[in-house]
Amino acid sequence: MPFKLLEAVFVWSSLGFFQKHLLYFCKPWVPPPQPAVLVLLFWLPTLFPQVYCRLRPLSVPDQECCVKVINTTTVQVHPPDGYRIFRNGEYKEVQYSFKEVFNIGGTQKHVFDVVAKPLVDDLIHGKNGLLFTYGVTGSGKTYTMTGSPGDGGLLPRCLDMIFNSIGSLQAKRYVFKLDDKNGVEVQCDVDALLERQKREVFQTPKTPSSKRQIDPEIADMINVQNNCKAEEVDEDNVYSVFVSYIEIYNNYIYDLLDEGPFDPIKPKWSSCGTPVRSADFILPQSKILREDQNHNMYVAGCTEVEVKSTEEAFEVFWRGQKKRRIANTQLNRESSRSHSVFLIKLAQAPLDASGDNVLQDRELITFSQLSLVDLAGSERTNRTKAEGNRLREAGNINQSLMTLRTCIEALRENQTYGTNKMVPYRDSKLTHLFKNYFDGEGKVRMIVCVNPKAEDYDESLQVLRFAELTQEVEVARPAEKPVCGLIPGRRFKNQRSITEVLLQNFPPMSSCELLDIHDDQTLPRLIEVLEKRHRIRQMLSEEFSKNGMLQELDSSIVSKENYAQVKMAERDKFIAAQKTEIERLEKKAKTLEYKIEILEKTTTIYEEEKRNLQQELESKSQKLQRQVSDKRRLEARLQGMVTETTMKWEKECNAPPVRIRHRRSRSAGERWVDHKPPSNVQTETVMQPHVPHSITVAAANEKALAKCDKYMLTHQELASDGEIETKLIKGDVYKTRGGGQAVQFTEIETLKQESPTGRKRRSSPSSRSPAEEGTESEWTDVETRCSVAVEMKAGSHLGPGYQHHAQPKRRKP
């Protein structure tokens, strides 16, 4: 027995020396310490969003039903009694097909196994997933997602499967550290330990302890006892789970894990419409969406909690669930007034060659996400009787669901007809947050919850129609999977006992039992074996000391090789990115060439139009020049006429006065301006025109016209028989807007003198005497005199102004 103890002490005393070097000495199971980075591309086949249909039980057993399950993939909707749509004498029945239909008796476990389990398996293998429930209000969406006491829904079952799969492979807290740009990095053990100590000193409720008592309210929900695990979990990786919980309320994003106190049912507002600021209530701050360097959308500033168990994760969810906005409506006692999104993020990174530490290369970190969305139900306000805030909430809910439908229809139209119609993701926070999934960043699955009662016939018809349409949208994209290049199984393989390795290298021990007191062979053999082992130990020590420099050199060479491989991988990735960029630029160049061609054609059309317009402009310019020339000639002509008329009037005004014989006028008794030009010839007739109370003037003036309201012009001309004919042209005097006076002629009285002997009419104007021609030329014809308007401005010293409206008669040559 003492010799066996001596052997054990000898072996374990050598352990400290050999432990460091034996890991590199045993070549068959020691990989390089620093791995090369390889990125493999796996092309996924063309995928379609998988849509499932689930029917909830009727609340009343004898209630009328409008939805019937035909088989495991088809449902039939028929109008209820009294609401039948007749077509050719028969009412219309519509059938809708889905990936699978869960009948009224379907269990939560069956729904999870078919719908959610593959998404969780993809999450653990580094792929993204989106699962959302859709339907009218009161159709069982929240029940499907959350469950009830004793029968957990999809969310607790997903958490249970995740932690059952990675429970023993999880990293310590704060080894994975999230940044504020939707990224993750690996901290060394020292930094993680300091972070844990810091959090323990300043303990916050954001990270609940998994050791404290579970809330009895949720204990039955998470006790699923399913023990479901993912297949082929990489045991050479370490994992960490982060959860966050948000809601989209009135198209604003709020963090349900925020620690500020909040009333989810009735926010407190003052009478002025402003939030009440008190110590018990702080208005929550809405969050904004941002895009990370990989073009994925995320909620900036959202609380993300690292959890280590199903109980801890569901407790975080339940804390946010209590803050979710719900309200009582005519159709649902606890109607969700917002879309809730529970995000499960899984970070994983490989271990190093020794299987003890996590590699801190960010390119080797896989960061996947599973989004569980409980959409608020669409509703009609005439049925819910919503008013005030409830009405506004219903409008925003229906608007976001309509935007989701518009995006799906636009994607389907682009893929069906090859169009490039813009998909309006930004019209709603819901579609903007998950636009990457529809662009091919992960699997999309939807559960359409239907209440088969007859009152929901119209709403259920629209929901089923949209859900069936969603299945026709394709989403496909190559997924990148980082491969570290290390030998699999190193986590447990490197944990083999070093004692076994040492014992295999030493000679076997002989028997140490002394059966006889006179035995003189056992002890010498034992001493010989121990001396041999001691010599082997010394040889190994000398060999290790001699090869120390070689090992360091070998490590340096291996490190350089790994560094070169990493650089080559980075260069290959850079070349691939450059090729992609070149392809993009080539496509852009082709597009620009096409645009240039169109612009050249457009330029040719515009140049032709420009030439036509220039020709038209030149022709119009020439026409305008001709009109200007004609206008100038007309102005010159009119100027000559004005000069001639002015000279004629001056000649009339400068003629000597003639004694006038008066005759009584028919217009006696009014205030008149009697205008008698000096060129008139005094007749020797007994009857002479005479107006009492008149102002007689030789030329019209402003002063005389201002005092009278009647005007009379005495005009003389030769009649056809050669006698003098006197015309009294009468008119009314009006004040003008400019402060002067104007005359409007109203009637003409004619006084004619005839000779009793008569006078022969001249047969030709050529026989006139020069005296007669002179006399006739001094007279003004009646058309010219009667077409004169007299207007004078107040304060004018230039006398009356004359404007001729009729063309003067010209004598024929």
Provide CB contacts within 8 A for 553, sequence distance 6+: none
Q: Which two tokens stand for residue 318?
A: 């339940």
Residue partners of 346: CB distance under 8 A and separation at least 6? 123, 124, 162, 166, 239, 240, 241, 242, 367, 368, 369, 370
Q: Is 135 annotated as a binding residue?
A: yes
669 annotated to bind ligand: no
Element spanning 343, H or E = strand 339-350
Phi-psi region of 739 (alpha: psi -120 to 50; beta: other; left: phi over 0): left
Of 401, 361, 348, the C-alpha closest to 377 is 401
Is residue 722 annotated as involved in ligand binding? no
How many C-beta atoms lie closer than 10 Å to residue 660's C-beta?
16
Angle at 508 between CA 504 and CA 512, to 5 degrees: 140
- Say whether 141 counts as a known binding-site residue: yes
Residue 429 labelled as part of a binding site: no
The count of other CB atoms within 10 Å of the CB of residue 82 is 7
For 299-313, give one letter per residue: b (16+ CB within 10 A) or e.
beebbbbbbbbbbbb
Q: Is residue 201 within 8 Å of 382, Cβ to Cβ? A: no
Residues 6+ away with beta carbon under 8 Å from 215: 315, 318
Phi, psi of 565 (to 5 degrees): -65, -40
Instruction: Please tell me what DSSP assigns to residue 113.
Output: I
How many Cα atoms within 13 Å fall on the side-chain side of residue 704? 20
Please name the helix (run of DSSP H) or strand (run of DSSP E) that holds residue 725, with its range, or none: strand 724-735
Cα–Cα distance, 242 to 304 (Å, whole number): 6
Which two structure tokens, joined as six digits, stand for 261? 């106190």
For residue 139, say whether it is annotated as part of any ligand binding site: yes
Phi, psi at residue 510, to the nearest 5°?
-85, 170
Q: Say how far apart CA 294 and CA 304 lie, in whole Å.
A: 20
- Which residue positions form the known binding site for ATP? 135-142
- Which residue positions form the known binding site? 135-142
